[in-house]
Amino acid sequence: MQRLHPRSPYEKLGGYVHLPRLIDKARLHRKGLLNGYNYKTVGFDKHLLTFLKIDAKKARFLLFLKEVGGEGRKDIRTYFDLIEFDEGRLK
């Protein structure tokens, strides 16, 4: 099986180096194909997310919210709210 690699850290998106690589790593992670690469919590990923003032935990929460059909809901603000919504106790 061919090993999948994220793009070079030299590639730019919106003027930012490493951003395309971070996006590739996120996509590989979602597919279970990251294969040992560090992701989000260390190294350049962490520094770029901090520099861009992106909270990776909040991004993950919003992704889960979208997956359960609650995208755009302002009343779902915690993981407990998300569970309640997903299990039908919050309408």
| Per-residue confidence (pLDDT) for residue 2, from 0 to 100 | 60
Report the alpha-carbon angle 17-19-23, nearest 5.
155
Q: The pTM is what?
A: 0.62
| Per-residue confidence (pLDDT) for residue 41, from 0 to 100 | 78
Q: What is the dihedral of CA 6, 32, 51, 14, to 10 degrees?
A: 50
| Range 16-30 average pLDDT | 91
pLDDT > 60? residue 38 = yes
Kindly report the number of other CB atoms within 10 A of residue 61's CB atom.
17
| Range 61-79 average pLDDT | 92
Q: Report residue 30 CA to chain centroid gap.
A: 9
Q: Per residue in 26-35, pLDDT tens?
A: 888 888 888 8
